[in-house]
Amino acid sequence: MADPVKILILNGPNLNLLGTREPDIYGHETLTDIGRRCEQRAKALGFEIAMRQSNSEGELIDWIHEAVSKWSAIIINPAAYTHTSVAIMDALKLVNCPIVEVHISNIYKRESFRHHSFVSPVATGVICGLGPAGYEFALEAVAGLLRKKEEV
């Protein structure tokens, strides 16, 4: 049997506390709940996933580097690093696989400093403002992107 397609799902700073504050913006689900949703959706799509979270920019970058050889796609919610990190943008540029940027909230409806993303110009696509379901939509998008890649 063929090896399962492996997808890396990365989460940036403070997302470990999701579900504990600001439910009007982020809802009530925790990152563990979102991980469970993703596991189910990934199973249906025939993917194996690794869901990781870090509050450290360097650790996120080390994980992105793994995608050069180990992962078929990256789904990333860089959290506040979205708006600040040239280093994460540079690391993502080195990766030759589909990258889907996810934001739970609609960053364009919020403070102006959230309107700029260093990640979007290097991402294959962006899902934003659709709540925790955005992670599942990102998995569906990856399935489509990988299928398209196989066809060429």
The residues carrying an active-site annotation are: 26, 103
Comparison of 100 and 146: residue with beta carbon closer to ligand CA2: 100
Three-class secondary structure assignment of the chain: CCCCEEEEEEECCCHHHCCCCCHHHHCCCCHHHHHHHHHHHHHHHCEEEEEEECCCHHHHHHHHHHCCCCCCEEEEECHHHHHCCHHHHHHHHCCCCCEEEEECCCHHHCCHHHCCCCCHHHCCEEEECCCCHHHHHHHHHHHHHHHHHHHC
CB 101 → ligand CA2: shortest distance, Å?
Answer: 9
Answer yes or no whether residue 104 interacts with ligand CA2 by CB under 6 A. yes
Answer yes or no whether residue 15 interacts with ligand CA2 by CB under 6 A. yes
Query: Using CB under 6 A, which of the segments 1-9, 34-42, 78-86, 142-150 binds ligand CA2?
Result: 78-86
Answer yes or no whether residue 38 interacts with ligand CA2 by CB under 6 A. no
CB 150 → ligand CA2: shortest distance, Å?
Answer: 30
Answer yes or no whether residue 114 interacts with ligand CA2 by CB under 6 A. yes
> Which residues in this chain contact ligand CA2 in the complex, by CB under 6 A?
14-15, 17-18, 20-22, 26, 77, 79-80, 82, 103-105, 107, 114
